[in-house]
Amino acid sequence: MRVVVVGAGVYGAAVGAALARGGATVTVVDAGAPGSGTSGATFSWVNSRNKQPQVYHEFNVAGMAAHQRFAAEAPLSDWYHGGGGIEWAADDAALRGKVDALIARGYEATWLTRAEALELEPGIDPERLPADGIAYFPDEAWIEPMRLIAHLLSRDVDVVADDAVVGLDTSGDMVRAVRLESGRRLDADAVVNCAGPQAAKVAAMAGLALPMRNLPCVLVYTSPVAVPVSRVVHAPNVHLRPEGDGRILLHSSEVDQGGQEAVDKLMRDATSFYPGIRAATVESVRTGERPIPGDGLPVLGRVADVRNYVFAVSHSGVTLCLHAGELVADEVLGEDRDEALAAFRFERFEEL
């Protein structure tokens, strides 16, 4: 079976690798280099801390478990970093309500004292931590997307980079081939749309109207600095995690709006919690685009009107890619995964 996967981010790589394991001949195509789109500009936090409704929460929890299994099974899985995540907030009551709701759902969470939090993250200024009311989520993690993508695409997958998809050749209710900007034509028994922010454009090539409401994501990378940060940390007005080689990745909702003032404020806020960051400079600022379907939920699996066209598009792609990638690949190869994917079908938009 010849399958063309459009998009070489974490979704495209995961779907491609799963298809190859299933015996398909897989070509993953991308307008740029693998991981150069959204996957290269993401906080890459593996979690289900703020996911609604319940079916989406459970799907993300399954995504977390898939990462843990894959990292345990794969040799040299240096892209996966466990250790959990911690959070404290200016609005203590709101945080407690959120954590209580997560615990009621069965999500692993506990409360730390200031001393316990400092054992996990000794670089934090003790004066900026509350005496208690610090939430710890032990099953959460972060990954290095480029390393994961490289590993997945090494699994009998042909990669065509720097060659955008410009059209699909269709006949009846089937896609027959994918046309590339270079003039190349790839015959296909199935096509999987993993195009992230460009998913609506690729869907339109098959006559499908996919509503998207993409949002910007701005990330700030520090220069290498000797600060002990070892996990995902959510403090008031600043989110941070290690980035490798001593760098720290910073994010906030304010910095997503762009502008140098927001970047400067984010650095000041980060330094107020981790004084050692004072020695760092802003090495780079990277802007990505979050692919978010119209109702916020993933769009996954087969399409009724185009029998060999399949979607794998969502926000939270890093968390979901391995779990959703397996399910989507199963459907491409003829297995019915409706029990897992029913809530995420494309057809829900046609019913509105």
pLDDT of residue 59: 98
Neighbours of 339 (CB within 10 A): 7
Closest C-alpha among 329, 327, 326, 297 to residue 313: 297
| Gap between the Cα atoms of 347 and 305, Å rounded | 9
28 and 312 Cβ atoms separated by less than 8 Å: no
Mean pLDDT, range 68-89, rounded to an integer: 94
Classify domain 2-46+146-210+294-350 by CATH architecture: 3-Layer(bba) Sandwich (3.50)
Kindly tell me if the per-residue pLDDT of 352 is higher than 70. Answer: no
Overall CATH class of domain 82-139+214-290: alpha beta
Q: Which two tokens stand for residue 173?
A: 């209710």
Report the pLDDT averaged over residues 154-179.
96
What is the rounded average pLDDT of the residues 149-176?
96
- pLDDT band, very low/low/confident/very high, at 227 (cuts 50, 70, 90): very high
The residue among 34, 16, 251 whose CA lies nearest residue 1 is: 16
The band of 75, judged by pLDDT with boundaries at 50, 70 and 90, is confident
| Residue entry with tokens 């695409």 | 153
Q: What is the pLDDT of residues 241-262, one digit of tens each?
A: 999 899 999 999 999 998 999 9
Check whether 175 has a pLDDT greater than 90.
Answer: yes
Tokens of 249: 């990745």
pLDDT tens readout for residues 92-149: 999 999 999 999 999 999 999 999 999 999 999 999 999 999 999 999 999 999 999 9
Question: pTM for the full model?
Answer: 0.96
- Across all residues in the chain, what is the average pLDDT? 96
pLDDT of residue 39: 94
Distance CA 145, CA 79 (A): 7
Counting every residue written for the chain, the total comes to: 352
Residue 22 confidence (pLDDT) above 90: yes
Q: How confident is the model at residue 76 (pLDDT cuts 50, 70, 90)?
A: confident
Task: Report pLDDT digits (tens) over 200-225.
Answer: 999 999 999 999 999 999 999 999 99
Whether residue 351 has pLDDT greater than 80: no
Distance from C-alpha of 344 to C-alpha of 336, rounded to nearest angstrom: 14
Residue spans of the domains in the chain: they are 2-46+146-210+294-350, 82-139+214-290
- Summarised one tens digit per residue, pLDDT across range 312-347 is 999 999 999 999 999 999 999 999 999 999 999 999
Q: Which of 341, 303, 335 is nearest to 320 (CA)?
A: 341
Cis before 293? omega within 30: no
Residue type, 295: D
